[in-house]
Chain A
């Protein structure tokens, strides 16, 4: 009896927390994804024809940038890499 009540209360608290946090969670995630993409853009801007003054000093970042680029075009619903970008697939 008491066990069921405790379980029900816990379930209720979890739901309450999830509902309470949901907007914050999505906000945080949106902000994180936004900053992440902005960083990607800054380090690979030359792909879009925007000169990147530190291109030669950041060549070591290419593997990471390419992985992120790959994830990005999948997220955008593009099966293969768009023309003009990295030819990751």
Chain B
């Protein structure tokens, strides 16, 4: 794999909006595919520029864009619809007809709040992460701007804890129900029965969160790569996001500094910019010292299509 860049089955590219995440994720995925690894590029950025970058229309279904390189664009709204439809289907099997309409109304209400898309995205993420090492050798995520992604990746931990609490409460209800059943006999009704669909549903959730958490915190399987430009705000944001990921024990593997002025760029204006830039590069060295760093120069034209991505790959190869 590329020097200083992760070779794990799951690689996330994240960073502030507009720093070139999509370009680098696409270049990385292309390189990975050209090295012979079956690679899936997942775009989760609502702007969805991965398709524009590769000059092929991408959709909700995975499609092969180049030999060995597959790509998919996730649409949070469509994901939420699918998630809700799936929940309704499962509910239909257990709910009594008397309350079914009302249950469906409640589920539709839940659909309209923002948390639904987040939950649906997390589910799809988890599903795609499971394909790494199976259907694909590598899954590359081009993520939405920083804050959103960091939250999404820490969700399994946050939500998992809450679900853990619910599971232990429910177990307590069941064991008290069992005691009640022992002293009350038939009068206990359904209390303390062995089968408990609520506990089953919760434990399934718990298992899913645990699995997702195991994947994202395993440095052998997952690596997060930050993209930033040598400017003040991206540096600050990256530092904060890296700290947040460390707190959630999600491994950060590398930092890619994009659009560094090339040495042959001359003129009074560019010289002044380069002086400023040198200070920011020092800041990056100091404040993000814990992570390997890769420099990618600013090109004389914007990166477009497979040829453009090859230029980026070449720069990544000697940018360490």
Contacts and interface: CB of A to CB of B under 8 A. Distances in A.
Nearest to A40: B173
A58 B183 contact: no
Given A42-B166, A88-B99, A63 B119 contact: no
Chain B interface SS verdict (over half): helix
Interface string B153-186: 0000011001100100110110011011001100
Given A28-B176, A60-B201, A55 B110 contact: yes
Of A29, A36, A59, most buried by chain B (CB within 10 Å of CB) is: A59
Given A24-B183, A32-B180, A56 B119 contact: yes
B110 A28 contact: no
B183 A25 contact: yes
A39 B165 CA distance: 10
Given A38-B169, A56-B119, A21 B183 contact: yes
A39 B183 contact: no
A30 to B, nearest CB: 10
A43 B116 contact: no
B301 interface: no
B99 A66 contact: yes
Nearest to B191: A32
B66 interface: no
B183 A66 contact: no
Interface string A29-63: 10110011011001100000000011111111111
A64 B162 contact: no
Given A25-B183, A66-B99, A87-B102, A59 B110 contact: yes
Leading 4 A-B pairs by shortest Cβ distance: A63-B95, A56-B119, A32-B176, A60-B201
Given A43-B166, A54-B163, A56-B120, 16 more contacts: A35-B169, A35-B172, A36-B176, A36-B177, A53-B159, A56-B119, A57-B159, A57-B163, A58-B166, A58-B205, A62-B91, A66-B95, A86-B99, A86-B106, A87-B105, A88-B102
